[in-house]
Amino acid sequence: MPPRPPSASSTCDACSLHSSPDIPEPISDNPRIKALLECNDLPLEAERLSLLATVSSSSELLAVLKEKIDNVQQMLKMLFDGQAKVTGNVLAAKALLHPIRSVPNDVLSYIFSFCVHEVYDLLNEKDPPNSLDSRKPPWTLSQVCRSWRRVALSTASLWSCISLNFAHYRGPVHVHLYPFMLSLYIQRARHHQLTIRLSSTKDMSSHVPIPVLLSSMPYWKHLRACMPAKSLEAFSTYRGYLESLHYLELRQPSWQDQANSPVHAFEMAHSLRILNINSGLGHHICLSDGGNGLTNLTIYGGSVKNMRILLGNTPNIETLGLYIQMSRPFERLNSPIMMPKVTSLVISEWDGAAPSSIAHLFESLELPALSNLCFNLDNEESESTVFVFPEILPHHHCHGITELTVTAPRSKVGKAGLIGILTHIKNLEDLTISAQIIDEDLFSALTRSNNDDDILPQLLTFDLQNSESIPDHKILLQMVESRMQDQREDD
């Protein structure tokens, strides 16, 4: 029998849409029809008439279904459009009610401070950033909206760290752009104390931004400059404006670059307390009051002679770091350099340092106030893995040393040299050793036997966590147990 013609559509009470007409069952479910579909036989006459009726009624039903589908699709489109509008209203309302709109300006300014470089981050980063890159903070903070721009421009501290790599500013397109951006940067910093980092592999004394930069010299507090020695002449004319300079770090782009004449740029920096300088410049730099105002000094390089000259001119140093590299062999001084106020000392052998540099340099110093001592052997070019420790001489005052650090990632330590030093440092409380191998003799020497020959009776901390290997763990445990037992007896 042919399917019934589509009935008049009724209306759905739930959604007010016309309900679907009755859909006939598939004729392919009929076994006779299924058998005919699987062969080439003609249907019977009655079957043929029934099939013609099916085609006719189904065509009418398809037209009805298409009309209903079009209606439903139109309704869906209206619903989706309505959903989008309502969602937009919700998002707009939430945006207007967002707590960020009620954040006080001082809190917003504090949040902005985490987006820019802090002083010592800028000074210590390996690769100097470019402060004139408008795609980075603090420039971007002033490009979001009016309120953010107002806060960014009114917070001078956001603009107080300036890093310039002059290799970026050599093209003709930059002749006018970068001086303008630099002047704008300095203007926004207003009278805030500035941290300046300058980098150049070539002489930049005649570079276009230099006059703009020099105008801010009265506000410089920290300066790190890596440039040829000749470039420092640009600061000499205006040296009287560096009265606020507190921190100075001078590096050369090449160890072959050396000063050939006195450097007067910093001789009127009366507030200078921290100096980090290459030994090649150390002999030529002229400091305020001859260097008596310095309290923190770091020297690196290969000219040990210049190191000694600078040390002799800075008697008030309290924190001292000496990093020797690319040096020639030298001997200890017959008359040691007296540094009465040094409490913390770091001596390091870097690549190319002459053998025994740590030993000979320490033996050349008299340090009566020393409390914190660090030896660092990190010379990749040296074939020797033996750490040569200094000899404790009569002028060495070791009773005040309470902390000793030995770093030698490619060496074996713990033989007589280190033990000899520990024998003289009777008040040592903290011992840290980071070495490739620690000799078992050291643990044997540190094992307590409850007699007057025990070394380091005041030792509280023995840090070995960065050392690679210990020959015999039993000796280490024996040493620890002997000291724990002695501590329990004292309690």
Q: Which two tokens stand for residue 442?
A: 């050291």
CA distance 22 to 65: 10
In 249-303, alpha helices (H): 279-282
Write out pLDDT tens, residues 66-122: 988 999 999 999 999 999 999 999 999 998 888 888 889 999 999 999 999 899 889
Between 341-350, 367-376, 379-388, the lowest mean confidence (pLDDT) is in 379-388
Q: Judge residue 381's burial from the number of C-beta atoms within 10 Å of its C-beta, 0-12 exposed, 13-18 middle, 19 or more buried.
A: exposed
List the one residue out of 187, 127, 183, 179 whose CA is nearest residue 158. Answer: 187
Write out pLDDT tens, residues 31-74: 888 888 888 888 888 888 888 888 888 888 888 889 889 999 99
CA distance 244 to 84: 60
Higher pLDDT, 393 or 257: 393
Higher pLDDT, 264 or 170: 264
For residue 408, the SS3 value is: strand
Q: Which two tokens stand for residue 9?
A: 């559509």
Q: Tell me the Cα Rg of the chain.
A: 41
For residue 91, the SS3 value is: helix
Residue 150 is inside which H or E element, if any? helix 146-154
| pLDDT higher than 80, residue 260 | no
List the one residue out of 224, 229, 245 whose CA is nearest residue 128. Answer: 224
CA-to-CA dists, residue 257 to 143, 254, 352, angstroms: 42, 5, 17
Where in the chain are the domains?
Answer: 27-95, 398-491
For residue 122, the SS3 value is: helix
List the one residue out of 430, 426, 441, 421 whose CA is nearest residue 463. Answer: 430
CA distance 432 to 425: 14
Write out pLDDT tens, residues 192-237: 999 999 998 888 887 888 889 999 999 999 999 998 888 888 888 8
**Mean pLDDT for the chain overall:** 86
Q: Which two tokens stand for residue 468?
A: 């690679």
Q: Model pTM? A: 0.77
- By percentage, how much of the chain surpasses pLDDT 90? 40
> How many angstroms from the chain centroid is the CA of residue 204?
28
| pLDDT higher than 80, residue 415 | no
At 384 the pLDDT is: 54
| pLDDT higher than 70, residue 5 | no
At 35 the pLDDT is: 86
At 473 the pLDDT is: 79
Write out pLDDT tens, residues 418-450: 888 998 898 999 999 988 888 888 888 888 877
CA distance 27 to 2: 9
List the one residue out of 149, 160, 290 whose CA is nearest residue 219. Answer: 160
**109 contacts 151 by C-beta, under 8 angstroms:** yes
CA distance 328 to 326: 7
For residue 250, the SS3 value is: strand
**403 contacts 428 by C-beta, under 8 angstroms:** yes
At 445 the pLDDT is: 85
Between 1-10, 169-178, 256-265, the lowest mean confidence (pLDDT) is in 1-10
**379 contacts 407 by C-beta, under 8 angstroms:** no
Write out pLDDT tens, residues 170-193: 766 667 788 899 999 999 999 999
Q: Which two tokens stand for residue 487?
A: 């501590």
CA-to-CA dists, residue 24 to 5, 28, 71, 150, 442, angstroms: 9, 11, 22, 72, 97
At 314 the pLDDT is: 92
